[in-house]
Chain A
Amino acid sequence: MSEPLLVVKDLAVHFETEDGLVQAVDGISYTVERGKTLGIVGESGSGKSVSSMTVMGLTRAGNARISGSITFDGKELLTASNSDMRSIRGGDVAMIFQDPLSSLHPFYKIGDQLIEAHRSHNDVSKAKARDRAVEMLTLVGLPDPRRRIDSYPHEFSGGMRQRVMIAMALINNPKLLIADEPTTALDVTVQAQILELIQKLQAELDTAVVMITHDLGVVAEVTEEIAVMYAGRIVEYGSSDTIFAAPEHPYTWGLLKSIPRLDTPRDEPLVPIYGRPPSLINKPSGCSFHPRCPYVREAHKKVDPGLEPTGGADATHKVACLLPAETRRSLWAALRAGETPDQVLQEVDIPANTLSPSAEGQTGEEVTGQ
C-alpha cells in the first residue's frame, strides 16, 4: 500500500480551564491505513473522543492547546486553515456520533439535512442532491426512501436515525469515517445491525473507519487493530486478535474480564476495574493506571512507562506497562484460566524493582501500524 491515510503523531490536546490544565489527550500516535479499521477503546474521559474531534478540527476552541501532528492523505491538518478544515469535514473525513436521537436537527426533514451535507461540498442542483440522498438512504437500508426522505427525525426509531446519520456521513464518499460510539445509545439487536451496516458499507465504499467505543465487544467484530486508551494516552496497541488473545496491559485485562460472555459459567462473577478514571488535571504520578492496578509495586508510582513493543509474535503489539514481560504473561495466563486478580496475586510473584524496558522509554512513543 502507499502512504497511510491518517497519521497521528504525538498528538496532545490540553484545555485551559479555571480549575487547571486538562490534559485530555497527552501524546498519542496512531496510523490508519486506507480502507482499514482502527478501534479506539477506553472509558469516558480517556481522551478517545477528543482525539478524533481534533482530527475533524472541532476542538479548535479558544482554550484548547493542540500540539503534535495529524497528517491526512498527505496534508497536515493541525496547521490547515479553518476553511480548508471545513472542506475536509464532511467531505473526506466524516463523523457519526453516539446519540442519533439528538444528532439530527429536529426542525428539518432528513432529506433536507442530507441534501445540505451533499451540496455544501458539491456544486450540484437540489434535484441531483436529492437523488443522491435517496441513493444513500437506500444504501443504508432505510425502507421506502423516496417517501421517507420527507420525514422529520422524530418520525424514526433510534436505529433508523443512526442509519440516516450514516447515510449523511457517507454521502460525499469520505475516505475516513470516524464513528464515535455509534451503537452506545441503541438496543443490542439494533447495535449488531448498525455494526454490520458500517462493515458492509466500509467494504463497498473502501472507507477507512476509526471506531471509538468503550465496549471491547463492539470493536471485536469490526476492527483490524485496536488502541486501548487510558487517561489521555494509548496504553496498549495491537491487532484485534492479539488484544483479545494475548493482551499485556492490566487495564486491557480489566476491560476484557468485565465483559459478560456467554461461554463462561453463569456463576462466575464479572470482575470490575476498581476505582475511577483519574482526574485529567492532576494525573497520578508514574504509571497513570497505578491507583487502580491490582499488580502495582512502589516503583510503578515513580516511573512513567512508555509504549514499547512487547516482542511477541505480533510485531505491532505495544504496551505501556512497567511489569516485566514474563510477569505480564504469567498474570494473563492465570487470569485467562478464570482466576480473580486476588487469586492471581497469590500465585504470581511480582518483582518490586525489576521494570520492563518501557521504563526507559519516553512518553508518547510512536505506534507504527502496518
Chain B
Amino acid sequence: MAAYIVRRLLWTVLLLLVITAVTFLIFYVLPSGDPAKLRAGRSPTPETIAAIRNQLGLDKPLYQQYGEYVWNIVRHFDFGNSYTNNEPVRSLVFSRLPNTIYLVLGAAFIWFLSGVVIGTVSAVARGSLWDRILMGGALVAISAPVYFLGLVCLYLFSDDIGKFKLLPGSGAYQQAGNPLSKAHALIMPWLVLAAAFAAIYARLLRSNLLETLSEDYIRTARAKGLSERRVVLRHGLRSAITPIVTVLGLDIGILMGGAILTETVFNIDGVGRLSFDAIQRGDLATIQGTTVVLAAGVAIMSLVVDILYAFLDPRVRY
C-alpha cells in the first residue's frame, strides 16, 4: 500500500508538470493579450512596455520562463507574482482556498446525501409516481445551469432583492464574520451548487441500485429472511454506493479549482473567482496558480478515492 501511494504521488508530480507546461503553451498560443501591455496602463511608451516585459521575465525564451517557474516552485514553493497587482500568487490562492473548500464541501455533503436518498427511494419505488416525480425533478435540476438557477434563487429568496426574503443573498459571505454566519450565508450557494450534482448522483445511484438489487447475493439476502429494509440498505446500497464515492472524490477535486459560476453569481471570493478574474486580465501567473490547485485537487482526490476503495471493497488490493 505504501509503495503504491508513493508511486501515485510521483505520477501526480509528473502530471502537474505536464499540466503547467500545457497551460503555459495555451496561454502564449491563444491571443489573450500581452500581459505587459495590460499592465502598462493607458497609452504606454514602447520603453515602458519593454521594461515591464523585462521585469516580468517575458522577454526570455519560453522554455527558460517555464524552467524558472518550475524551479521557483520546487525551491521556494513560490508560484511567482500576479501580473496585475504584484501580490504573490501563493498567498492569493491560499487566502481564497478556504472559501472554496467551505463552499464545495458543504455542497458536496448536501448533494451526496440527497442524491443517495432520492436515488434509493426512486429505485425501491421503481416505476411508481414517486419515482417519476423524483426523476423528472432530477432532469430539471440537471438541465438548469448554475448561473440561471443562482440568479433565479437570488431573485426569489435573497433577503435584499428577493420576492420572499428568506436567505442571505449575493455578497453576504464576504461580510459574514464567524463560521456560523458564513454557513448561513452559504445556504443558498450550497443548494444552488448542489442541485445539479444531487440530480446526477440520484440518477446514478438509482441505476446502480437497480442493477445491484438483481444480483444473486441480493436473492441470497432475501432467502435468508432479512427484512426488505435490511436487504436494500445493508446489502444493496452498500454495493451500489461504492462507485458513487469515486465520482464524489473527483467532483470535489475538480471543484477545488473553483466553482467559478457559483462563486461569481454569489460573489464569493474563492479560487474560482480568482481564476475568472485572472483569465480576464491575462494574468498568467495567477492562472497557472489556480490551474495547479485544480490539477492537484483532482490528482490528490483520485488518490484518496483509490485508497478509500481498498477499504470499501475488500477485493481491491494494491
Contact = CB atoms under 8 A, between A and B. Distances in A.
Interface string A89-133: 111001101010011111111000000110011000000000000
Taking residues whose C-beta sits less than 8 angstroms from the other chain, chain B's interface range is 20 to 34
B23 to A, nearest CB: 41
Given A102-B217, A104-B220, A116 B313 contact: no
Interface string A40-83: 00000000000000001010000000000000000000000000
A102 B239 contact: no
Contacts of B313: 106-107
B238 interface: yes
Contacts of A105: 217, 220-221, 235, 238-239
Given A152-B315, A154-B315, A106 B223 contact: no
B219 interface: yes
Contacts of B238: 105, 107-108
A120 B217 contact: no
A166 interface: no
Contacts of A152: 314-315
Interface in B206-253: 215-217, 219-227, 230, 235, 238-239, 242
Interface of B is mostly: helix
A260 B49 CA distance: 92
A107 B222 contact: no
Given A105-B217, A106-B239, A88 B225 contact: yes
A121 B239 CA distance: 24
Given A154-B314, A154-B315, A107 B239 contact: yes
A106 to B, nearest CB: 6
A112 B207 CA distance: 27
Contact of B225 (A89, A106, A108): A89
Interface of B: 215-217, 219-227, 230, 235, 238-239, 242, 312-315
Interface of A: 56, 58, 86-91, 94-95, 97, 99, 102-109, 116-117, 120-121, 152, 154, 165, 168-169
9 tightest A-B contacts by CB? A90-B225, A89-B225, A90-B224, A102-B216, A152-B314, A105-B217, A95-B223, A117-B224, A103-B216
